[in-house]
Structure 1
Amino acid sequence: MEQQAKTQRLDFIAAQAELQAAQNRGQGESRQIADMELANAQARHQALLALHAQRELSAPFAGIVLPTKNSEDGGDTPPIQPGIWVTQGTPLFELASLERIKAVARIEEADLHQLDEGMSVEITGDGFAGITLHGHISSIGIQGLSSTYGGSTTYEVIVAVDPLTPEQRQRIRLGMSARLVIVTYRSESGLALPAEALHRDDEGNTTVEFREEMNEAPRRLNVKLGRAVPQGVEVFGIGPGYVAVPFPAL
């Protein structure tokens, strides 16, 4: 009995030491370390819950699933198959819509000053002959692109195409080549004259030989110049009538 009592007293002393050690771990630096480990575990748990909530992808629009392009470092993107592991951020596929498409072109820096966002564009192509698409410039590249053949620097121009009709969607395919006609200037009631019809007087004014009727004597009329267009030079300050254009010298 005395031996058992002695053993129990030793067990009691050991249990008190373990209790004191456990209480010490719940205070001070040990408590702070445990709190930080709990916070880290909770943060990882929330991150996993957020990833789990994104297990189903919802496309923002209806379209066609396409394979991803090559990676930026020039290597081929591995094919995505069911059951394989991918790292976070790896592109799985691309989604393309035929209802709203865009056209991409390049323009040389010498012509860049003629373009502005919002300009109207007409689009034609051999692959969809007989169809003229309409759109507008949505963005102009900021970073220049080096020319493949050593020419001047070019800039990328993105054209947003107006929504296609069901008939147009049957003819249009992604990746088709196209010709873009950009309207850089439009004047519904503009008047353009050949450059030969314009004269400069001693005071620096631009004049034309003008008559309202063919039986009237011509008179010099001051005009203001506008933009140069394929038809000639745009002029302002002249009404309906006739303008003298000299014959070219033989």
Structure 2
Amino acid sequence: MNPADHLHQNILENMRDGVMALDLQGRITLFNPAAAEVLGLDRNQVLGKTFAEVFLAMDEVNDEFNQVVLDAVLQKSVGRRDTVEFIRPGGARAALTVTSSYLRREGDEACGVIVVFSDITQIRTLQEQERENNRQLAKAYGDLEESNTKLTQALKKVQVVRVAATLGIILFFVGLGLYHFQVFSGLKRMTATTEPGPVSGQDAMAVHTLAPQRLAAAISLSGRLQPVEEVVVTAPFEARILENHFIFGQKVQQGDLLLLLDSSELEVKLREARSNQIKARQKYEELLGWDSGTEMAKARRSVERAEFDLETKRRKLEEDELLFSKGLISGDALDRSKNEVESAVTSVISSREDLESTRHKGGPENLNIARMELENAQARLDEVEGQLAQAEIRAPFSGVVIRPSVEDDKKVSLERGSRVQSGASLFALGNLEGLRVMGKVDEVDIGRLSVGQAVRARGDAFPGVILSGHVAHISAQATGGTSHQAPTFDIQITIPELTPEAEQMIRVGMSSDLEIQVHDNPNALLAPLRLVRSVGGRSLVRVATPDGEIEEREVETGMTTLREVEIVSGVQAGDRLAEWER
């Protein structure tokens, strides 16, 4: 045995996977120790026997395993990978992965089948345990979500009570102010009665002088603080998790290693991709130089030999015809010479056709096919290399690791040893350079909102800190809405940046109270509602002129409060408005 054969034999003897080789008659020619251990069979009693004698004669039912091997021997299905159950002698069950492939001689002729199988019983058991743990975790998560829902409802009730109490206090102070105002007005009228003096007609009619004052209005709502940007990180390929370096809610820096995936299976695919790329490149380069290659040279030599043989046979025929004319050879000998010439002509024609067929193999169409196969092989190689480079999953930017928003059945475990599918959402990374808040606005107030309006946010969890932001998005479609509840619209508030103090206090998911500034005019002219009258779709007021006259003037009104209305145009500061005659 030469050193190479000894090395190959040593590799087979020490492999952890079972290897079994069969010739095309179904006789077992190779059965390594791992195969004997996995299948529970005596190696010496298997080698040299046919597959039917060993496996089909067993009492245990192993139809799936037998069918996979028989399909490979009969050339129905080779190169496939199956997972089957195998019952060992004695009744022990094992889960196997079975892969079949051809054994080929030089010249690409199949001479047998090799079957490789691995015992994945323990892995399958662990997967079942993992699925059961995931079901229990999903149930616990559902119970937790239900508890959170109940708590949220309770908090909403508390907030309603707090708002009602606040309104009650406001109404109390408003009533108290009205009471004092009426008392003061009564005293003023009494003073005017006891101290009569000359009063002009203008002074008697003027009741309100317009003066600039601040007018502001806001809409209040609540929501939860979320990162200004969330990037969902997905699994680049199917693999087991080797290392986990984070917990949800943890702040990380750009470039930090978060997960390490097992790349052993991908490395096998990488080697296959490189092999296919090399083969495709060699084939393409061979077709590029096809006209000067070995195949064309062999075909040309075949034509040359056939033409030389034809020329030889023709000269011999000429000689035989001369000898026959002189009676030196028989007619049969002459006929044989003629037949040999005809046969040589056929050989020349055949060899020339073979030359053209060989030349066609290197034609533009086959060359184009080889080029596309090379491009496909190169693309596959680049894809696998790109996936392998992502085995170390690092933070794309600094932020906080949060759970991705996915359905319960699509959530994955990130524990060490867990298996993740390609494209599965692993986690989300939130950018904490700013915040966003999602809220709902009643249909009555939605018309008062516009993108860009200023927003202030406060929270019980970060007292003394006021966050400044703006309205970033207003949904054009309502959500909810029943016969007992008005529909609402989703809005997004963006807080573009945080102060160092806010960064230390604020955590993702905290609740906040929002105040959206829908109107702010520091120089508004306000008039009591009774002094503005609507006539025929126009707003009119009575203005006392400096010469003592009263004139009606059309004005444009703006925002209205409980007792006053904003006058946008038609009057100016200092104008005096008079009561309407009853």
TM-score between the two structures when normalised by the length of structure 1: 0.72
- The aligned amino acid for 1:69 is S
Give the aligned residue type for 1:45: L
AA at the equivalent of 2:459: G
Q: Which residue of 2 aligns with 1:121?
A: 455
1:226 alignment partner in structure 2: 557
User: Tell me, which stretches of 5 or more residues in structure 1 are unaligned?
Assistant: 1-15
1:172 aligns with 2:503: no
CA offset at residue 101 of structure 1?
A: 0.6
Partner of 1:11: none
Residue in 2 aligned with 1:136? 470
Tell me the CA shift for residue 100 of structure 1. 0.5
In the TM superposition, what whole-angstrom CA distance separates every residue of 1:126-182 from its partner, at most 9, and x where no partner exists? 333333221101111244322489633322111111422122223322222222221
What is the SS of the residue equivalent to 1:98? strand
Residue of structure 1 equivalent to 2:489: 155
CA distance in 2, matches of 1:195, 1:68: 53
Segment of structure 1 superposing worse, 161-170 or 30-39: 30-39
Gap change, CA 1:205 and 1:34, over 3 Å in 2? closer
The Cα shift of 1:113 comes to 2.3
Partner of 2:573, secondary structure, is coil
Could you say if the C-alpha distance between residues 107 and 205 of structure 1 is closer, same or farther in structure 2, counting changes exceeding 3 Å? Answer: closer
SS of the residue aligned with 1:186? Answer: strand
d(CA) in 2 for partners of 1:238 and 1:168?
Answer: 44
Cα distance in structure 2, aligned partners of 1:121 and 1:176: 17
8 Å Cα contact 2:474-2:489 kept in structure 1: yes
User: Per chain length, whose mean CA-contact separation is higher, i.e. which structure has more relative contact order (CA < 8 Å, sep 6+)?
Assistant: 2
Partner of 1:3 in structure 2?
A: none
- For residues 34-92 of structure 1, the C-alpha deviation after alignment (integer angstroms, 9 at most, x for no partner) is 44432221110122233344445554542111232332xx4251122345443332221
Give secondary structure in 2 for the equivalent of 1:224.
Answer: strand
Matches within 5 A, 1:1-250: 23=358, 26-27=361-362, 33-57=369-393, 59-71=395-407, 74-75=408-409, 77-147=411-481, 151-200=485-534, 204=538, 206-210=540-544, 219-220=550-551, 222-230=553-561, 232-235=564-567, 236=569, 237-240=571-574, 242-244=576-578
Query: What is the one-letter code of the residue matched to 1:192?
Result: L
Q: In the alignment, residue 529 of structure 2 is paired with which amino acid?
A: A
CA 1:149–1:164 in structure 2 vs 1: closer, same or farther (change >3 Å)? farther
91 and 245 in structure 1: CA distance in 2 versus 1, 3 angstrom threshold = farther
C-alpha contact 1:64 1:96 (8 A) present in aligned 2? yes
Q: Is contact 1:133–1:162 with CA below 8 Å preserved after alignment? A: no
Flag the 1:69–1:203 CA change in 2: closer, same or farther, 3 A: closer
TM-score (norm 2): 0.34
CA distance in 1, matches of 2:518, 2:463: 24
Task: Return 158-167 or 222-231, whichever deviates more.
Answer: 222-231
**Shift of residue 219 of structure 1?**
3.2
Q: Per the alignment, do residues 36 and 203 of structure 1 end up closer, same or farther by CA in structure 2, a change over 3 Å counting?
A: closer
Q: CA contact under 8 A between 2:399 and 2:431: conserved in structure 1?
A: yes
* Alpha carbons of structure 1 residues 60 and 196: separation in structure 2 relative to 1, 3 Å: farther
Q: Quick one: structure 1 residues 218 and 161, their matched pair in 2 at CA, closer, same or farther if it must change by over 3 Å?
A: farther
1:40, 1:89 → 2: CA distance? 22
Q: Which has the higher helix share?
A: 2
Q: Which sections of structure 2, spanning at least 5 residues, go unmatched?
A: 1-294, 300-353
Q: How large is the Cα RMSD of the aligned pairs? A: 3.7
Contact 1:208 1:223 in 2 (8 A): no
- Over the matched positions of the two proteins, sequence identity in percent amounts to 27
Q: Please identify, of 100-109 and 228-237, the stretch whose mean Cα deviation from structure 2 is larger.
A: 228-237
- Residues in 2 aligned to 1:178 and 1:90: alpha-carbon distance in whole angstroms: 32
**Is the radius of gyration larger for structure 1 or structure 2?**
2
State how far apart, in whole Å, the 1-side matches of 2:549 and 2:452 are.
43
- Shift of the 143–91 alpha-carbon distance from structure 1 to 2, 3 Å rule, reads farther
Residue 102 of structure 1 contacts residue 158 of structure 1 at CA under 8 Å; is this kept in 2?
A: yes
Alpha-carbon distance in structure 1 between the residues aligned to 2:436 and 2:474: 13
Structure ranking higher in strand proportion:
2
Counterpart Cα distance in 2 of 1:203 and 1:145:
35
Q: Distance in 1 between matches of 2:481 and 2:386?
A: 45
Report the 3-state secondary structure (helix = DSSP H, G, I; strand = E; otherwise coil) of the residue aligned with 1:88: coil
Letter in 2 for 1:50: G
